[in-house]
Chains A and B, each alone.
Chain A
Amino acid sequence: MDKAAALAEPLLTARGLKKSFGGVVANASIDFDLRPREVHAVIGPNGGGKTTLLGQLMGEILPDAGSVRLGGIDVTAMSVPERVMRGLARSYQVTSVFPGFTVLENVAFGLRARRRISSRLWRSASTGGELGEAAAAILRRVGLSGRSGVDAAVLSHGEHRQLEIAIALSTSPKVLLLDEPLAGLGVDEGRRMVELIADIRGPVAIVLVEHDMEAVFALADRVTVLVDGAAIASGAPDSIRDDRLVKAAYLGEDA
């Protein structure tokens, strides 16, 4: 497949996604796509439907209507684990790790799932050998090397955010959904997180939900603005920055 063809076929496509929660419309017919190697940022005010969109792409929230395609295959009816096995992964806005397990073990869950050895009953769940090396490589990448033997429950907030990314990477995703990776981080930590995402991008296409505009404009190839469950604008970062509608609905409030 040549480069032009690869660009023509998005990795992830959503068409007409609709979701209401007890009469409150969270997503009103959203079209969305993500091309190979792309970072596609989703911004918008709180309650705009960003997390609901991620949930529907991931399969955690069943859409009322619409479809999701991953790698050219309709995955609308697929469970979360089935989508993960096809190369989808996500991080969570509120840190979601495995407390009571070491940092290394937190990453090993996804590695084992990917290698389809999670269901072994008798053999010990060792984190040695190739699996241990892969886990160590991921932890090195996110900057948690020194903490691999520590219980994930006792990590600092910044470390939790790093582990959050490490767990998402453990399944070797082709498409990564990041839900506010900078949430609660200080300036320095935030800069390192942006560097980490920049390091991941490329082989991994990324949907980035983020409030930090500096990070968004530093990373995104394309930006979509969600307001009240609808995509009011979508395009290159510069065009979004200059869009009057967007300014009025969103950026204006921040500025």
Chain B
Amino acid sequence: MNRGVLLLAAALFVLMVAAAPAALLLGMPYLLSLFQKLAILAIAAAGLNLVLGYAGLPAFGHGAFVGIGSYTVGILAAEAADGALASAWLQFPLAALVAGLAAALIGAISLRTRGVAFLMITLAFGQMLYFGAVALERYGGDDGMIIVRASAFGDFTLARGFGSYVFTLAVLAVVLLLMYRVTRSPFGFVLRGAAANERRMLAVGVAVPSYRVGAFALSGAICGVAGVLWANYTAFLSPAPLAWTWSVQLAVMVLLGGAGTLFGPLFGAAAFVLLEEVLTGALQPWRLDWHIVFGPLLLLVVLAAPGGIAGLLGRPQHG
């Protein structure tokens, strides 16, 4: 990893940590809200990065696993009005487990195909789960519903606020540490090596498909955790994260930041969230949507800087 990448990552972390007391002192809760959104999206994008970046598989249905995490919170909150099921001790493992299993199953089926067909079948599974969520009338169906009770570790609530913000940053740090270890482990080397040369990886005795299913499960579980945070952040249960445009946006963050790099997802999520904020404000006088600038910017990134932000800061290195 080179210095530019480390410096930018460190700067972002300092900014996000410093935002907590600053927001409290200056009375700017909005700042916390913005950075919390950034952190949650970075966690989901980091999960997706394992499959999309390191394993090189064009998966475009990961919004569904974020959705599974959100629905875990929403359903448990709705089913026990007294909050008996709102324990975060229960919800995080459950969400990670269900999302991980769903991802393993979807991965195992999708990996029968490759290339564009793989891209499409992952999108299709995402859409299936989306319509499945829409069918859950009991939990708001298409319109969604308010989540009446936030997840909590005992007295520590994850409802939007200072505590929840700090907790989200901690989760992001843990997820990035996990990614650091996993992508440099033998398992991670297999994923990256198989992306470089699948046939040869098989020919040295590695059962590549099993490793990829494993990567799907892990990345789905991380997205499930992000979903729990997202549900608490929005305090609203909605099928929106399962829609295919959400999945594509997650992938856009990964690619924009730098696919297959540790901090790429963080950079991508930051670029996405901060650009939305800045551009929306700047374009307000002309009643223009930020997408009119962001769209061409994405094109520019692809044509001029295919390595994303991390790539711009320096050549990525293996090992």
Contact = CB atoms under 8 A, between A and B. Distances in A.
Interface stretch (A10-18, A84-92, A222-230): A84-92
A105 B203 contact: no
B19 interface: no
A97 interface: yes
Interface string B191-206: 0110011011111111
Contacts of B181: 121-122, 124
Contact of B199 (A60, A110, A118, A119): A60
Interface in B161-194: 181-182, 184-190, 192-193
A171 B186 contact: no
Contacts of A167: 200, 204
A125 B203 CA distance: 20
Interface residues of A, number: 38
A81 B185 CA distance: 20
Given A121-B185, A122-B181, A96 B202 contact: no
B186 A112 contact: yes
A92 B211 CA distance: 24
Interface residues on B, range: 20 to 34
B319 interface: yes
A171 B205 CA distance: 7
B204 A125 contact: no
B257 to A, nearest CB: 19
B185 A120 contact: yes
B53 to A, nearest CB: 13
B61 to A, nearest CB: 24
Interface in A126-181: 151, 167, 170-171
A14 B190 CA distance: 31
B28 interface: no
A184 interface: no
Contacts of A58: 203
B319 A102 contact: yes
Contacts of B201: 98, 109
B205 A125 contact: no
A164 to B, nearest CB: 9
Contacts, number: 105
Interface in B110-154: none
A118 B203 contact: no
B207 A125 contact: no
A100 interface: yes
A123 B185 contact: yes
B318 interface: yes
Interface string A72-100: 00000001111011000110100011111
Contacts of A122: 181-182, 185
A223 B319 CA distance: 44
Interface string A49-81: 000000000101000000000000000000111
A113 interface: yes
Contacts of A121: 181-182, 185, 187-188
A107 B132 CA distance: 46
A60 B200 CA distance: 11
B306 to A, nearest CB: 15
Interface in B299-318: 318
Contact of A96 (B188, B197, B206, B211): B197
Nearest 6 pairs of A and B residues by beta carbon:
A84-B205, A110-B204, A113-B205, A80-B202, A81-B207, A125-B189
7 contacts: A79-B202, A79-B207, A84-B203, A96-B203, A98-B196, A101-B319, A117-B186
Interface of A: 58, 60, 79-82, 84-85, 89-90, 92, 96-102, 105, 108-110, 112-114, 117-125, 151, 167, 170-171
Given A113-B206, A119-B190, 5 more contacts: A81-B207, A98-B197, A102-B319, A119-B211, A121-B182
